Structure 1
Amino acid sequence: MTATYRNPVLNADWSDPDVIRVGDDFYLTASTFTKVPGLPILHSRDLVGWTIIGHAVTSGYADVRPGCGVWAPSLRHHDGRFWIFYGDPDVGIYQVSAADPRGPWTAPHVVKPGSGLIDPCPLWDEDGQAYLVHGWAKSRAGINNRLTLHRMAPDASKVLDEGTLVIDADLLPGYRTLEGPKLYKHDGVYWIFAPAGGVEQGWQSVFRAESIFGPYEDRIVLEQGGTDVNGPHQGGWVDTRSGEHWFMHFQDRGPYGRVVHLQPMAWEDGWPVMGDKGEPVAEAALPVLGDVPGEPATSDDFAGPALGLQWSWQADPDPSWWELSHGTLRLTCVPGPEDLRDRGAVLGQRLPGAPCLVTTTLTLSGEGRAGLVVLGFTYAYVGLASTSDGPVLVCGDAEPVPVDGPVTVGARIGDGALVTFLADTGEGLREIGAPFQATRGQWVGAVLGLFAAGSGTGEAIFEAFTVDIERRSPWTSKGRGQ
């Protein structure tokens, strides 16, 4: 039997992915905006099964700033080190590097300061010269739809010139919002892979030139066509050790965020051809055979020495917010904004792109409120709140229910990210409150979160956090290593 996979291979919000191969290993990173830690590092041996192995950025902003922070990274391996370049649209272009992708990573270093500088990508050429291409955010810079190229110091410490406008997409018929450039050199030709048209309705283009400064000619190489994969948006090109070529990109799925697809890629007449004659494929032959499947972690029994790598905070965390103890997560009911969207002290992870059941057991002591939240532009939660008569179970407009001791709370997330909250007060999990339609956040999908809020005197204890996903393996039933 033929070993195949099906898309998406990462069925959750792994926005703006970039991917490289080093030996037999593949590595991927993605945008994280102001989540802390940021810049996740994922590892794979076959481009289909991925696990989280670390993060390249461990701090961020002190307050919640939706849509700010780490935008559209590029991942490269050069001179024995792993490099990630990313844009913070309010600060400039940063880089971090590490000898080991699991870390430690260097502190973020500004390569080019400025407002509206986004989506950077480096290239170290054979002659030792280094270059950096980037896009522009109109919300900060007042311009977009164009790409600027710099000569860069080989140690990536700074750019060496004012920059050259190498692609002005205002001059290209039909182009809008050209962004997310990835810079490559292949068979002596310079390539910029870049999407345009917007994340929901756009397409993927490539540009080629004999000189890195152009002139570039363009071709659309991946678009929705007759498929249900809207947008097909920015990503990265990677090869296998056996010489096959692949392209990973995202698809915007609203509350589920930007899920990642894998397209076969071939070279024909000097141009890349992606998917099935330029349209995304639903499945294809597995790139590499014989490896053990993997997937990013979701559930957490809180028994380890640290939180699982799937978790992040909405802003820089304070150590006083949380503690792992004897297989439980203890969250202090810390002060902060009433609105959970504005609280840094919400511990979250990506909403799975398939229906799932999420449960955890919660105990509340002292003053405050705590629970399980589904959070985007809007949010709702099920949890416990203290009263003068003791804790009560709360969920939206539902009548509060007095409780005594631990309560299992949960959320059943169905098709379309419709959420039904659940609670067990002694008769098994039952529905509570009205259904809630999960919504996206600013450039991100909804998150599953845990929180505890109050004056600082209360404490919430969460037992194992379990995510039971309706399994739709990226490997098909035709087998893997046959």
Structure 2
Amino acid sequence: MIHLRSLLLLFYLQLAGLCLQAQMSGQWGDQGNGTYVNPVLPADYSDLDAIRVGEDYYAISSTMQFSPGMVVLHSKDLVNWEIIGHVVDDLRRISPQLNWDRMNCYGKGIWAGSIRYYKNKFWVYFGTPDDGFFMSSATNPAGPWEPVHQLWKVRGWDDCCSFCDDDGQLYFIATNFALDPKSNKKYNIHLFKMTPDGKSLIMASDSIIHQSHGSEANKLYKINGLYYHYFSEVKPEGRVIMMERSKSICGPWEIRQLNHVDKSKDKEPNQGGLMQLKNGQWWFFTHHGSSDWEGRTASLLPVTWVNGWPIIGEVGADTIGRMVWTAQKPIILQKQKIKIQTDDDFNSKTLLPQWEWNYQPRADKWSLHDHKGFLRLYAFKPINPNEHKKILLRAGNTITQRSMRTKANIVTVKIDITGMADGQYAGLTHFSTTSYSSLGIKQGNGTRKLVYSSNDADSVGIQIVGNFIWLQSSWDYQGNNRYGYSLDGKNFVPFSGTTQLTWGSYRGDRVGIFNFNSKDEKGYVDVDFFRYRYSK
């Protein structure tokens, strides 16, 4: 084992120069030469968990107020991923506050969860800070998933995981982050048994298996006859990865720190999933807990077993792991066609899986059928339209994708504005809860004008007399964004200064298409296409 660690250390040192060069140039993901650069997903894929089933890998990522909720990812090599679906099709089953007419859950909604495969099904459990824990199952991870079921209505809990033991007994683990007056500990990790259908907790089985400040990201595994409880914990150096192990799921537990963090450099990898490949290798798919405007991105880290502990990343002399930015791919495939989807010409009968609405959409206000080959967005009033404070965050017909942090990014949309009405504003936007900007068409007194808006301050441009407008947003690795427009789809004119993309409420920047009317429920736009070009 010492010899293996020495070889790994030598390999990582050889790649250190490549790693620094890759970070500075904005490289990411599959490099096409048998290596990869972290992050493998340079966008907001937060609160990850991942599993292997046969020769396929599946992951889930939290979505908070976006709908459909809890995105499901698929990969064949752990480096290249695609979006295949979502677990929750209707957020109203979780809370009415997640609907278009409430919009009160920024920073809340669907938090971290777990994905597991047992009893011939995929099982996803997750929590919300205000509404408790929920679950669903499916025979196909792309869906359909069973209507989400409330496991336990409770407040102040998070980061849950289900576990099926060898005898078929189901368990559930989660963190209660309310203050315990007896122990003065703010985070207590509880273990429960579940009923055989996985839809109820056996409350009498409740036990606390760990207490500390900031203990979250729970996962349970059974490996070589031992139970392993994975979690993260706040230490003076930052949030680190921890592990407990025991011969019995009831304990006693032996504890170990698995990695060190440098908050200024590696952004605290923590939430994630351990996976063993068919060849026996182990890997860890994780998000980075500290974030910039792109949100909490996803990275893949090698795992080395040292004295029965899965050390994550480069193994140091103290047998504790460090962040790895560049490594050899775990699986080399001859043909690799999987990638994160972006483009849409709206010719499908259903929305493609990369799309998520900001909150549960109003079902009668959008259509893929009313104008074939177009996405029609009908306008309606935002909540409290006269307040004019971050009005876009209160407008219920915004459809979004994640903004990626690559060297060069260009989004172009073509919109038919024939059906617009007075009071309507529609176009292209970037937003978080910290800030937003948009470029679109506003109509008043029968006149349509180009309008750039940044945090409620408008700049009015030319009058638009044609039926089509092409809008464009481009941003760089630092998140400096500029908008432009075209009247013919070929020649684009810059319109706006540079704005800085931001993150807020635990979410990275979103790029999207919006449409609302601050006066009446009148007007619509037809979106012909959405094209997103990003660099490797």
| Counterpart for residue 348 of structure 1 | 400
CA distance in 1, matches of 2:338, 2:242: 31
CA distance in 2, matches of 1:342, 1:25: 39
| Counterpart for residue 460 of structure 1 | 525
- For the 8 Å contact 1:202–1:230, the answer to whether it is kept is no
CA separation of 1:382/1:90 partners in 2, compared to 1, >3 Å: closer, same or farther? same
CA separation of 1:137/1:58 partners in 2, compared to 1, >3 Å: closer, same or farther? farther
Aligned match of 2:298 in 251, 260, 284? 260
Aligned match of 1:187 in 209, 224, 232? 224
- For the 8 Å contact 2:80–2:338, the answer to whether it is kept is yes
Say whether residues 1:402 and 2:466 are aligned partners: no
In structure 2, give the amino acid aligned to 1:239. Answer: Q
Write out aligned runs for 1:35-184 (5 A): 35-60=66-91, 61-62=98-99, 63-64=102-103, 65-138=105-178, 144-162=186-204, 163-169=206-212, 176-184=213-221
- For the 8 Å contact 2:405–2:476, the answer to whether it is kept is no
Q: How many residues align?
A: 464
| Counterpart for residue 412 of structure 2 | 359
| Counterpart for residue 279 of structure 2 | 242
Say whether residues 1:281 and 2:324 are aligned partners: yes
Say whether residues 1:439 and 2:502 are aligned partners: yes
CA distance in 2, matches of 1:33, 1:89: 10
CA separation of 1:242/1:10 partners in 2, compared to 1, >3 Å: closer, same or farther? same
CA distance in 2, matches of 1:463, 1:73: 36
| Counterpart for residue 25 of structure 2 | none
Structure 1 stretches lacking a partner, 5+ long: 170-175, 473-482
Secondary structure of the corresponding residue to residue 502 of structure 2: coil
Say whether residues 1:213 and 2:275 are aligned partners: no
CA RMSD, 1 decimal = 2.2
Could you state the TM-score of these two structures normalised by the residue count of structure 2? Answer: 0.82
Structure 2 stretches lacking a partner, 5+ long: 1-31, 92-97, 316-320, 386-390
Secondary structure of the corresponding residue to residue 217 of structure 2: coil
CA distance in 2, matches of 1:20, 1:432: 45
CA distance in 2, matches of 1:381, 1:423: 12
| Residues 165-198 of structure 1: CA deviation (Å, up to 9, x unaligned) | 10012xxxxxx31101011111121111111229
| Residues 232-280 of structure 1: CA deviation (Å, up to 9, x unaligned) | 1211101111111000111133221111000111211111111111112
| Counterpart for residue 269 of structure 1 | 307
Cα deviation, residue 456, structure 1: 2.1
CA distance in 2, matches of 1:157, 1:399: 55
Say whether residues 1:332 and 2:332 are aligned partners: no
Which deviates the most, 251-260 or 211-220? 211-220
In structure 2, give the amino acid aligned to 1:52. Answer: I
- For the 8 Å contact 1:89–1:137, the answer to whether it is kept is no
Secondary structure of the corresponding residue to residue 96 of structure 1: strand
Identity among equivalent positions (%) equals 30
- For the 8 Å contact 1:90–1:114, the answer to whether it is kept is yes
Secondary structure of the corresponding residue to residue 124 of structure 2: strand
CA distance in 1, matches of 2:180, 2:45: 24
Cα deviation, residue 148, structure 1: 0.8
In structure 2, give the amino acid aligned to 1:401. Answer: I
Cα deviation, residue 222, structure 1: 2.3
Could you state the TM-score of these two structures normalised by the residue count of structure 1? Answer: 0.91
CA distance in 1, matches of 2:367, 2:150: 33
Secondary structure of the corresponding residue to residue 320 of structure 1: helix
CA distance in 1, matches of 2:405, 2:175: 29
- For the 8 Å contact 2:405–2:477, the answer to whether it is kept is no
In structure 2, give the amino acid aligned to 1:168. Answer: Q
Say whether residues 1:415 and 2:477 are aligned partners: yes
Cα deviation, residue 95, structure 1: 1.0
Say whether residues 1:380 and 2:433 are aligned partners: no
Secondary structure of the corresponding residue to residue 222 of structure 2: strand
Cα deviation, residue 225, structure 1: 4.2
CA separation of 1:460/1:14 partners in 2, compared to 1, >3 Å: closer, same or farther? same
Say whether residues 1:230 and 2:270 are aligned partners: no
Secondary structure of the corresponding residue to residue 421 of structure 1: strand
